[in-house]
C-alpha cells in the first residue's frame, strides 16, 4: 500500500512539475492569447490545426517557458496551416453592441513582443476568413455550440489548465451577459489559475469547476452530469422543506423511520443546522452554485442545504406548539435523477371568503394538472399545463369574468401559447428583442428586433373585443427563462397586475460548453431584453404587489399569492 501512496504522490508531483515553470502572470497571458487566436485566426478558427495540442505541448515543455517566444511560435504554427477562403455571411443584425468587447488587454501584455501584439490586434481589427469550428459549426444556427471540442480520457494538470482556458474563453467571447457580472471576467481568470494549477485529483477538479461555474451568476448555469454530490455530499435530509424568513419549514416526509427517530414532524420550524443559522449554512456552500439574484440563492439552497457525507446532523428549531427542540437526525442518500420533490413545495390550497378550495387538481387521463379553476366571477389558469388548442374555448367561456389570474410559477415553453394574447391584447404588441453572438467577430453581439423569430415579433392581433376585465399574473423565484418571457409579454396587457416576488432573472436559451471529460457546463447563450433594451437577466420581473409565503401559510398549505390576486380583482369596480 505504501508504494501505491508513494507512486500517487510522485505522479502528482510529476504532473505539476512543468506548470511550476510558469508564473500565474505567464499563464494569464497564455490563456488570453490562446483564446483570441482560437476564435480569430483563419486556420485555427476553421479547425485546420489542433489548437488544444499546441497549448498542451507548450505547457508540458518546461524547457521552453519563455512566454513571448512561445506565443511567437504559436502564431508561426497557425500560419503554417492552410485555411479556406470563406464567403462573408449576411446577418440580420439591426445593430452591433460592443459592451462585451474589449481587446485593450493586448497592448498591456508584458511578455509578448510588439510585433506579436500588432499581429493580434490586426487579426481582430480586420477579421478575415474567421471560421466557427469551435463556436457555431451548425449551418444557419444562431446558437453557440462547442460540439467539436476534444474530450480526454486522461487526467493531468495540463489538461485541467486547458479546461480553465476553454471555459473562460467561451464566456469571454460568447456570453451575452458577461457585462452584467459583479466582477471583471479578467479577474476570474487570475483568481482560478492558481486554483486549477494546484489540482491534484478528480475531487479537486470537481470542486474547482463548480466554483468557476458559480462565478457566472446565471441561474441557467449547471453541470449536465452533476458534480454536487461529490463536492457537497451524497446525503441529505429525510424530509422535504421550504425556506422562509431565514428558516426552514418541513413540508413533507422522505424517510418516515428517520423522522420518527428524530421526533420531527411536518410543520416543524428548523432554525439551526449543527449550531449554525440557516442563512450561514447556506453561505457555507452557496459558492458552488450559480444564481442570478438573492431570490434564487435561497431557492437553490434546497439542492444542498442539508447535504453532506456525514451520516448525522444536529437540528434545532421550534414545534408548531411553540416548544423548542434539539435533535440528532440521520441523513439519507440522494438519487439525483429520481428526486421528484426537488423544490419541496407543498400542495397549496386557496382559503377565500371563509371557504377552502383545492385549485390544483390532477387529470389522470391526460397526465397533467387541470389548466383552469373558477370561483364566482374569477378564473385561475395554471399556465404550465395550458395547451394552445384549448385557449379559444377557455377564453370564450370566461370572456365575461371580472378577472383572470395566470400563474407563471411553473414552466411551459410552448410558443403556440402566444395565442392567448389574441384575446388579451387589442392590437399587436412588440414584446422584446435579443442579442446573438456574431461568430465572424467573436466578442461582438448582434441586436435583433425579435426574440423568437420574425414571424413571432408581435403578440396579439387587432381585436376590438379583447378582454376588458382585470388580469393578474403570479410570479416568484420559480418563474424562470420561458416563464419570464411570458411575463414580459403579459406586461403588454392593459392594467395587468403582477403579484408575488422577484423572478429568477435567467432569460435566453441554455447553451453548453463541452468539458475536457465530455461533461457539459450550461450557460445562457442568447440575450433577452424588453423592446427598449431594458434588462431582465439577473433583475428578473419585479412584482407590482409583493407577496411571499409566511411560516404560517406554508404550515397551513395556503397560497397567499392567489388569495391576493382574487382580492385585487374583487377591488376592481
Whole-angstrom distance, CA of residue 42 vs CA of residue 127: 9
Q: What would the mean pLDDT of 215-222 be, rounded to a whole number?
A: 96
Q: Give residues with Cβ within 8 angstroms of 278, minimum separation 6.
A: 243, 246, 247, 248, 270, 271, 272, 305
pLDDT value at residue 303 = 85
pLDDT band at 5 (very low <50, low <70, confident <90, very high): very low
What grid cell was written down for 167?
Answer: 471555459
pLDDT of 467-523, one tens digit each?
A: 999 999 999 999 999 999 999 999 999 999 999 999 999 988 899 999 999 999 999
Residue with the larger pLDDT of the pair 543 and 1: 543
pLDDT value at residue 15 = 46
Residue 379 buriedness (CB in 10 A; 0-12 / 13-18 / 19+): buried
pLDDT value at residue 146 = 97
pLDDT band at 344 (very low <50, low <70, confident <90, very high): low
Longest CA–CA span in the chain (Å) reads 84
pLDDT value at residue 63 = 57
pLDDT of 357-385, one tens digit each?
A: 999 888 889 989 999 999 999 999 999 99
Domain regions of the chain by residue span: 19-217, 234-333, 349-571
Whole-angstrom distance, CA of residue 312 vs CA of residue 266: 19
pLDDT of 519-531, one tens digit each?
A: 999 999 999 999 9
Neighbouring CB atoms inside 10 A of 572's CB total 12
Residue with the larger pLDDT of the pair 89 and 549: 549
Burial track 444-483 (b if 16+ CB lie within 10 A, e otherwise): bbbbbebbeeeeebbbbeeeeebbebbbbbbbbbbbbbbb
Whole-angstrom distance, CA of residue 391 vs CA of residue 74: 60
What grid cell was written down for 485?
Answer: 418571457
pTM: 0.93
Whole-angstrom distance, CA of residue 235 vs CA of residue 508: 33
pLDDT of 76-109, one tens digit each?
A: 999 999 999 998 777 778 899 999 999 999 999 9
Q: What would the mean pLDDT of 298-313 be, rounded to a whole number?
A: 93
CA-wise closest residue to 343 among 162, 479, 473? 479
Q: What would the mean pLDDT of 327-351 be, rounded to a whole number?
A: 75
> Which fold does the domain 349-571 belong to in CATH?
2-enoyl-CoA Hydratase; Chain A, domain 1 (3.90.226)
Evaluate whether 234-333 and 349-571 have a shared fold: no
pLDDT band at 287 (very low <50, low <70, confident <90, very high): very high
Whole-angstrom distance, CA of residue 240 vs CA of residue 70: 55
Neighbouring CB atoms inside 10 A of 513's CB total 22
Q: Tell me the HSE value of 465 on the side-chain side, using a 13 A CA sphere.
A: 4
Residue with the larger pLDDT of the pair 257 and 87: 257
- Mean pLDDT, rounded, of the chain: 92
- The domain 234-333 is classified under which CATH number: 3.30.429.10, 2.30.42.10, 3.50.50.60, 1.10.760.10? 2.30.42.10
Whole-angstrom distance, CA of residue 299 vs CA of residue 480: 12
pLDDT of 396-413, one tens digit each?
A: 999 999 999 999 999 999
**What SS3 class is residue 332?**
strand
pLDDT of 406-456, one tens digit each?
A: 999 999 999 999 999 999 999 999 999 999 999 999 999 999 999 988 889
- DSSP structure string for 487-515: HHHHTTSTT-EEEE-------S-EEEEE-
Amino acid at each position: 500500500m505504501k508504494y501505491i501512496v508513494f507512486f500517487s504522490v510522485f505522479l502528482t508531483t510529476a504532473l505539476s512539475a512543468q506548470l511550476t515553470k510558469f508564473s500565474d502572470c505567464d499563464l494569464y497571458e497564455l490563456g488570453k492569447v490562446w483564446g483570441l487566436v482560437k476564435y480569430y485566426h483563419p486556420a485555427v478558427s476553421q479547425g485546420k490545426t489542433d489548437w488544444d495540442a499546441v497549448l498542451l505541448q507548450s505547457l508540458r515543455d518546461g524547457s521552453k517557458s519563455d512566454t513571448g517566444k512561445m506565443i511567437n511560435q504559436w502564431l508561426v504554427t497557425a500560419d503554417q496551416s492552410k485555411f479556406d477562403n470563406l464567403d462573408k455571411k449576411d446577418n440580420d443584425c439591426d445593430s452591433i453592441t460592443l459592451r462585451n468587447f474589449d481587446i485593450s488587454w493586448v497592448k498591456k501584455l508584458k511578455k509578448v513582443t510588439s510585433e506579436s501584439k500588432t499581429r493580434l490586434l490586426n487579426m481582430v481589427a480586420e477579421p478575415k476568413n474567421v471560421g466557427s469550428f469551435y463556436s457555431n459549426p451548425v449551418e444557419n444556427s444562431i446558437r453557440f455550440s462547442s460540439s467539436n471540442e476534444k474530450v480526454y480520457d486522461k487526467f493531468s494538470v495540463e489538461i485541467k489548465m486547458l479546461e480553465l482556458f476553454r471555459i473562460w474563453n467561451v464566456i469571454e467571447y460568447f456570453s451575452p451577459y458577461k457585462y452584467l457580472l459583479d466582477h471583471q471576467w479578467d479577474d476570474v481568470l487570475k483568481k482560478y489559475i492558481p486554483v486549477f494549477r494546484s489540482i491534484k485529483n478528480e475531487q479537486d477538479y470537481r470542486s474547482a469547476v463548480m466554483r468557476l461555474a458559480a462565478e457566472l451568476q446565471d441561474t441557467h448555469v449547471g453541470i449536465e452530469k452533476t458534480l454536487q454530490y461529490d463536492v457537497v455530499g451524497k446525503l441529505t435530509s429525510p424530509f422535504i422543506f421550504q425556506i422562509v424568513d431565514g428558516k426552514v419549514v418541513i413540508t413533507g416526509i422522505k424517510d418516515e423511520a428517520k423522522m420518527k427517530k428524530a421526533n420531527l414532524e411536518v410543520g416543524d420550524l428548523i432554525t439551526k443546522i449543527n449550531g449554525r443559522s440557516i442563512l450561514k449554512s447556506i453561505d457555507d456552500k452557496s459558492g458552488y452554485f450559480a444564481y442570478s439574484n438573492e431570490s434564487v440563492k435561497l431557492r437553490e439552497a434546497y439542492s444542498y442545504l442539508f447535504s453532506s457525507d456525514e451520516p448525522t446532523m444536529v437540528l434545532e428549531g421550534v414545534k408548531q406548539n411553540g416548544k423548542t427542540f434539539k435533535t440528532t437526525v440521520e441523513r439519507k442518500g440522494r438519487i439525483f435523477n429520481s428526486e421528484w420533490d426537488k423544490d419541496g413545495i407543498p400542495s397549496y390550497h386557496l382559503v377565500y371568503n371563509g371557504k377552502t378550495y383545492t385549485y390544483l387538481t390532477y387529470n389522470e387521463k391526460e397526465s397533467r394538472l387541470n389548466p383552469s379553476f373558477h370561483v364566482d366571477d374569477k378564473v385561475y389558469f395554471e399556465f404550465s399545463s395550458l395547451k394552445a388548442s384549448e385557449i379559444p374555448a377557455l377564453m370564450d367561456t370566461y370572456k365575461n369574468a371580472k378577472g383572470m389570474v395566470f400563474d407563471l410559477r411553473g414552466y411551459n415553453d410552448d410558443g403556440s401559447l402566444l395565442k392567448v394574447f389574441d384575446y388579451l391584447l387589442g392590437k399587436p404588441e412588440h414584446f422584446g428583442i435579443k442579442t446573438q453572438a456574431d461568430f465572424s467577430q467573436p466578442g461582438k453581439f448582434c441586436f435583433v428586433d425579435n426574440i423568437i423569430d420574425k414571424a413571432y415579433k408581435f403578440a396579439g392581433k387587432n381585436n376590438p373585443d379583447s378582454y376588458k376585465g382585470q388580469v393578474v399574473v403570479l410570479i416568484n423565484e420559480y418563474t424562470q427563462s420561458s416563464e419570464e418571457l411570458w411575463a414580459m409579454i403579459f406586461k403588454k396587457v392593459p392594467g395587468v397586475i403582477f403579484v408575488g416576488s422577484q423572478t429568477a432573472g435567467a432569460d435566453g436559451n441554455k447553451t453548453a460548453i463541452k468539458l475536457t471529460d465530455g461533461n457539459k457546463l450550461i450557460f445562457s447563450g442568447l440575450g433577452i431584453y424588453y423592446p427598449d433594451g431594458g434588462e431582465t437577466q439577473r433583475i428578473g420581473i419585479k412584482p407590482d404587489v409583493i407577496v411571499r409565503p409566511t411560516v404560517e401559510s406554508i404550515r397551513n398549505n395556503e397560497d397567499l399569492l392567489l388569495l391576493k390576486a382574487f382580492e385585487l380583482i374583487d377591488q376592481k369596480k
